[in-house]
């Protein structure tokens, strides 16, 4: 911690030793525990701001934004200024959900970095309320557009596919041994459309090819470099339908649509061409179409 100039510590367990840790490590801030203490605790331990968790990231339900908002409001200390440490479950709550929570809480709640929280708390406890606080610039919590067709400023129609959950059924190996991803996109095809570009996020080796099938019409794109890449093919708009479209791509020259490491999966290397355990790339945008 000294070599990193790190003076803040979040520890799990050992609350009775918080004072010893703060003194030994010369900390400016201590964040305590993983769950909510029986009583809310914000205190100074020497010069260190000590703040305990107010929102437990493992307290179910952990994926209901409205429940999380309600918990924060109910657990906010009555006095002002109030200081809170709120944990969210990173497996189910992402940046968009956090933005929604902050938007719903309103201007009374100000999100700050951990070091800022400790600095403000220590200043309040030693100097009282700042009569002329420097206003923090507003953070931009504008949410991205929801999935679904939308037109850009230049008139391009963008139709996105967002995998809300791992789409195991959308990936298969054909009898020739080719690994395919299958997507279905409902496209409101403009009557004057001329061209379309299909994008897919794939992993492969430089020099290999990705094959696209757009409603049965076949196209290929070369991989200029290795690793995960966006690749695309341009097709005549006539290959698309006004309505549901079926898009296949053999986006896995290395047979790795899935990443290793999830012991909960039940499919093995004999079917999927890799280690014994794989984890699907859920929650990721894997395919979209632009129509002009």
Average pLDDT, the chain: 82
- The whole-number average pLDDT for the span 191-205 is 89
- The whole-number average pLDDT for the span 94-105 is 89
The CA–CA distances, whole Å, from 156 to 191, 192, 292 equal 13, 12, 5
Higher local confidence (pLDDT), 242 or 40: 242
- Which tokens is 218 given? 């076949």
Q: Which of 7-11, 78-82, 148-152, 175-179 has the lowest mean pLDDT?
A: 175-179
pLDDT category of residue 170 using cuts at 50, 70 and 90: low
Residue 255 has pLDDT above 90, yes or no: no
Which of these CATH numbers, 2.60.120.1200, 2.60.40.10, 3.40.50.300, 3.40.640.10, describes 150-291?
2.60.120.1200
Question: The whole model's pTM is what?
Answer: 0.58
How much is the pLDDT for 268?
A: 36
**Which part of the chain is CATH 2.60.120.1200?**
150-291
Strands 285-291, 157-162: parallel, antiparallel or unpaired by DSSP? antiparallel
Q: Taking the C-alpha atoms of 49, 74, 58 and 147 in order, what is their torsion angle to the nearest 10 degrees?
A: -110
Q: Which of 141-155, 220-234, 254-268 has the lowest mean pLDDT?
A: 254-268
The pLDDT tens digits of the residues spanning 141-153 come to: 887 766 678 899 9
How much is the pLDDT for 147?
A: 67
pLDDT category of residue 127 using cuts at 50, 70 and 90: very high
């Amino acid at each position: 911690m000294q070599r990193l100039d790190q003076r803040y510590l979040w520890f799990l367990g050992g609350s009775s030793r918080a004072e010893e840790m703060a003194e030994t490590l010369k900390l400016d801030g201590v964040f305590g525990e993983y769950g909510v203490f029986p009583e809310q605790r914000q205190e100074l331990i020497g010069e260190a701001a000590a703040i305990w968790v107010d929102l437990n990231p493992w307290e179910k339900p952990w994926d209901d934004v409205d429940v999380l908002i309600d918990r924060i409001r109910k657990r906010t200390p009555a006095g002002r200024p109030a200081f809170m440490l709120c944990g969210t479950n990173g497996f189910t709550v992402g940046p968009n959900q956090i933005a929604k929570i902050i938007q719903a809480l309103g201007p009374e709640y100000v999100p700050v970095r951990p070091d800022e929280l400790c600095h403000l708390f220590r200043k309040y406890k030693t100097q009282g309320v700042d009569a002329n606080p420097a206003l923090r610039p507003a953070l931009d919590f504008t949410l991205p557009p929801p999935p679904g067709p939308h037109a850009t400023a230049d008139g391009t129609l963008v139709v996105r596919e967002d995998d809300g959950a791992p789409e195991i059924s959308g990936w298969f190996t054909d009898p020739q041994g080719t690994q395919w991803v299958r997507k279905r996109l409902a496209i409101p095809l403009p009557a004057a459309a001329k061209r379309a570009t299909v994008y897919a996020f794939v992993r492969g080796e430089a020099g290999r090819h990705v094959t696209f099938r757009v409603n049965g019409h076949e196209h290929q794109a070369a991989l200029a470099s290795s690793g995960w890449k966006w690749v695309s093919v341009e097709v005549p708009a006539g290959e698309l339908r006004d309505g549901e479209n079926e898009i296949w791509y053999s986006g896995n020259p290395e047979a790795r649509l899935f990443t290793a490491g999830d012991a909960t999966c039940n499919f093995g290397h004999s079917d999927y061409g890799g280690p014994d355990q794989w984890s699907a790339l859920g929650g990721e945008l894997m395919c979209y179409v632009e129509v002009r």
